[in-house]
Amino acid sequence: MIRLLEERGKTYDLPFVGNLRPYAHQAVQLKLVERALKENRQVVLWNRARTGAGKTLANFGYLTKASWVRALGVYPVNELVKDQFQSLKKGLPLKDWDEIALWTAEELRKSRLPGESKLEQLQRLSTRYHRAILTNPDHLVLVAQERLYTPRKEGYDPRLGKAVEVFYRLGEYVLQAFDEFHLYNIAQVNVLAQWIALMAASFPKKGMVFLLSSATPRPEVFRLIEGTGLPIWNVQEEARCWLEEEKPSVYEERIFLEPVHLHVVSAYLPAWNTGERILERWDEIEDYLSEWPKAKGLIILDSIHEAQQLAAALREKGYDVGEVHGLSDRSRSREALAKPITVATATVEVGVDFQGEIWKDFLVFEARNAGSFMQRLGRIGRGSRSNPEPPLHVWAYVPGHVAGQIQDRGNAEMTRSELEEIVTRAYRYYQDFSPYIEKVGGMNLVHGYHLQKKHHVDREQSPALKQIRILCERMYGLGFEEQERQYREWKQKKLLEPVLSFRGQNELEFQLYRWGEEESETFHPDLWFWDETAPDSPLKRYDFHFVLRRRRVRFVDREEMVRRVKEHLSGPEQEEYLEALSRDRVLGYAVAVGVRDKPAKLVWRLPAKAGRCAEELVRLDRLRLESDDSGLNEQLNLLFQSIRRTSWIVYIIKRSVGELTDLLRLPPMFRLYPAKSLQGADWSIAFNSEAFQLWSVWETVRSEVL
């Protein structure tokens, strides 16, 4: 067992937010924001303060100093959006008429007015009284690409109305904070960097501060931002200079991370059975709970199925268990987090501040990389308790070689920084898909350029359009015309959509104003399914692979799903689901009637022409999905016979999934699926954004392996 020492930070006798006194990084960030806005400059602030050290108040604190300033907070998961809202509501003393808007599907559904479209709603929730907007990147991309629509009204063209207006309103939010970049894949990092560039170019005369806050930063982000030419101010470096030069008066020393007892458990994570291992060793936690019966715990796993199974097993043992993951009822997540034991996935890995009613005393997690290890460890012990009991314990399930290197230190005491060094060295490299940035380039900027040409009367002299071209060239080292040629080629081949949408297979297409030819033909391998095992939140859209492998299903038609929605749902929720069902292009519709005892095997059967298309980004039709389960396979045959001919954006490699995973060191959550050629050879297939990512690295390495 390793004892992690408490972390202390000095606060300084300076005004900050309300009655709080700031840490050095908070005081300095406030000064840097003020300097940038007073000088009307566009800058990037990078704050790498440790988890629990108050980055949220550092980002939004300036709202209390200047009444004209508004802020936009962008977060990778909606659970973090909600948590940030709770933190700001409690810690940010805004004026009575100031509001904080939440732009997540769940919150927007709750606050939508009768007959109001999402576009009209976003316009209503971006006024000068909305001092802050907290959202996810999906909504930013839909706004930037003018994809949201509102029904036509007399004398009003939505393409040149609110769709454009909301984007320009976001330009008034001169503080834009981006958090927890390690949760984004390379394609999403590329899109976010282009959002920053697009904002800077579209408002060239406006001072703006882009705040990058992450204890685990991504080098690709800084490489792209350096290409924009925007100055990057390092908060920690500036804080060191400030302390040396100004020698501010210390107010007090505060504990911001409590001591923790860390138990490291060696596990074979590729088996995806950590939940079973936790149950095998549950007597350790029972011993802890027998001594501290009121202690509350959090368990973080990577697999939703494992999380669900473990939660069910713990309920059978008599525990009161909450679940927070992609298939749980997100409207009740706060209630689930407050349970004596919460089983969750990566949705709570970052930012969620386990304080107050959701405080946790013990933590169990698995970690497949160093970033996840440190972020998950950071969920416990934040802040300072008046009573240091019960003692905080953590059980970390990690690969054997990682456990060995940590355990070599024996029963040591160490700081979290020392542990982070060991953990970072111990974990092995996974593919980071860095060639993607060079190969895909600035497609979102090129797309934004063509959209904005419609807004400017003097297109040749527009400084915004000129600046978009300049930034696109700087960031990617290619001429704008060359990138534009790539854009037009992919657009002509109808391959562009996965590059433009944030998730790579846009789950919000039903909100588009008007589908172009590419969107209407793009087929996504997801399922709408009605989960009879989850009556509180039955309707979900999710990856086909999870649903069909782990659930016993009965396929139904769209009309059956619509009927269920009308019977069981009401209000804005019903309206949104009906709209989605009417416009979505998915693999199919199913009712999940139970959980499989063992996962079904699935394989994509490829058409004869697939061999000629291998190792090329293509649209391919006549794909079929097959299973080793005879009942499921019969249903799949009927499903694919009924699907009208459509196409899929794919990348195929003539190697098995296992071989390719080892060769490229693909990360565990990368969506690569087994495929069979007409002759029965084992190949691999990736769809949409993953197809582009796979293409980018295979183009680089295939000459070395062939």
**35-41: Cβ within 8 A, 24+ apart:** 36/207, 36/209, 36/233, 37/62, 37/66, 37/69, 37/174, 37/207, 37/209, 38/207, 39/207, 40/205, 40/206, 40/207, 41/207, 41/231
Per-residue confidence (pLDDT) for residue 703, from 0 to 100:
65
Average pLDDT value for residue range 13-20? 92
When pLDDT is cut at 50, 70 and 90, the band that residue 152 belongs to is: very low
9-250: CATH topology is Rossmann fold (3.40.50)
Average pLDDT value for residue range 267-271? 93
Is 364:285 a contact under the CB 8 Å cutoff?
Answer: yes
* d(C-alpha 549, C-alpha 560), whole Å: 23
* d(C-alpha 410, C-alpha 412), whole Å: 5
Beta strands 413-414 and 2-4: pairing type?
A: parallel
The amino acid present at 143, given as its one-letter code, is V
The mean of the pLDDT values for the chain is: 88
Q: Where along the chain do its domains lie? A: 9-250, 258-426, 441-498, 523-595, 600-706
| Domains 9-250 and 258-426 belong to one CATH topology | yes
When pLDDT is cut at 50, 70 and 90, the band that residue 105 belongs to is: confident
Comparing 44-58, 123-137, 429-443, 624-638, the range with the smallest average pLDDT is: 44-58
pLDDT at position 329 over 50: yes
* d(C-alpha 77, C-alpha 349), whole Å: 9
DSSP symbols for 388-442: --SPPEEEEEE-HHHHHHHHTT-S-EE-HHHHHHHHHHHSPP----THHHHHH-S
Per-residue pLDDT reduced to its tens digit, 472-523: 999 999 999 999 999 999 999 989 988 988 876 544 444 444 445 555 555 6
**Strands, sheet with 624-627, edge to edge from the N-terminal-most edge strand:** 618-620, 648-653, 682-687, 673-676, 602-605, 624-627
More confident residue, 97 or 196: 196
* d(C-alpha 364, C-alpha 300), whole Å: 6
More confident residue, 458 or 387: 387
pLDDT at position 459 over 70: no
Per-residue pLDDT reduced to its tens digit, 597-640: 899 999 999 999 999 999 999 999 899 999 999 999 999 999 98
pLDDT at position 78 over 60: yes
Task: Tell me whether the omega of the peptide bond preceding residue 463 falls within 30 degrees of 0, making it cis.
Answer: no
Beta strands 682-687 and 618-620: pairing type?
A: unpaired
pLDDT at position 262 over 90: yes
pLDDT at position 700 over 60: yes
Beta strands 682-687 and 673-676: pairing type?
A: antiparallel
Per-residue confidence (pLDDT) for residue 684, from 0 to 100:
98
Comparing 259-268, 465-474, 475-484, 643-652, the range with the smallest average pLDDT is: 643-652
In terms of Cα–Cα distance, which of 636, 83, 141, 654 is closest to 334? Answer: 83
Residue count of the chain, please give it. 706
* d(C-alpha 136, C-alpha 364), whole Å: 27
The neighbour count for residue 291, using CB atoms within 10 Å, is 11
* d(C-alpha 1, C-alpha 528), whole Å: 45
Per-residue confidence (pLDDT) for residue 475, from 0 to 100:
94
The neighbour count for residue 471, using CB atoms within 10 Å, is 24
Per-residue confidence (pLDDT) for residue 160, from 0 to 100:
47
Average pLDDT value for residue range 354-374? 91
Domain 258-426 superfamily per CATH: P-loop containing nucleotide triphosphate hydrolases (3.40.50.300)
The amino acid present at 217, given as its one-letter code, is P
Per-residue confidence (pLDDT) for residue 428, from 0 to 100:
87
Per-residue confidence (pLDDT) for residue 524, from 0 to 100:
67
Comparing 23-27, 316-320, 700-704, the range with the smallest average pLDDT is: 700-704
Chain mean position to CA 440: 20
When pLDDT is cut at 50, 70 and 90, the band that residue 460 belongs to is: low
When pLDDT is cut at 50, 70 and 90, the band that residue 148 belongs to is: confident
Is 179:217 a contact under the CB 8 Å cutoff?
Answer: no
Per-residue pLDDT reduced to its tens digit, 674-689: 999 999 999 999 999 9
* d(C-alpha 350, C-alpha 378), whole Å: 8
When pLDDT is cut at 50, 70 and 90, the band that residue 333 belongs to is: confident
Per-residue pLDDT reduced to its tens digit, 296-326: 999 999 999 999 999 999 999 999 999 998 8
**CA atoms within 13 A of residue 9's CA, in its CB half-sphere:** 21
pLDDT at position 702 over 80: no
Crossing angle of helices 186-202 and 688-705, in 10° steps, is: 120
The neighbour count for residue 623, using CB atoms within 10 Å, is 21
* d(C-alpha 38, C-alpha 32), whole Å: 10
Average pLDDT value for residue range 198-211? 95
Dump strand ranges (E) for 431-502. Answer: none
Coil, strand, or helix at residue 114?
coil
Beta strands 250-257 and 7-12: pairing type?
A: antiparallel
pLDDT at position 646 over 80: no
Q: Quote the percentage of the chain above a pLDDT of 90.
A: 62
Q: Quote the percentage of the chain above a pLDDT of 70.
A: 92
Is 346:77 a contact under the CB 8 Å cutoff?
Answer: yes
Per-residue confidence (pLDDT) for residue 501, from 0 to 100:
84
| Maximum average pLDDT range among 29-43, 49-63, 338-352, 633-647 | 29-43
Comparing 162-176, 283-297, 321-335, the range with the smallest average pLDDT is: 321-335
Beta bridge partners of 586: 524
What residues contact residue 232 under an 8 Å CB cut-off, 6+ apart?
Answer: 43, 44, 45, 46, 222, 225, 226
> What is the chain's alpha carbon radius of gyration, rounded to the nearest angstrom?
26
When pLDDT is cut at 50, 70 and 90, the band that residue 576 belongs to is: confident
User: How far is it between the farthest Cα atoms of the chain?
Assistant: 76
The span from the first CA to the last CA of the chain, in angstroms, equals 47
When pLDDT is cut at 50, 70 and 90, the band that residue 153 belongs to is: very low
Per-residue confidence (pLDDT) for residue 150, from 0 to 100:
53
In terms of Cα–Cα distance, which of 319, 462, 300, 423 is closest to 366? Answer: 300
Per-residue pLDDT reduced to its tens digit, 523-567: 667 899 998 877 777 888 888 999 999 999 999 999 999 999 999
Per-residue pLDDT reduced to its tens digit, 33-54: 999 999 999 999 999 887 778 8
- 607: alpha, beta or left? (left if phi > 0; alpha if psi -120 to 50): beta
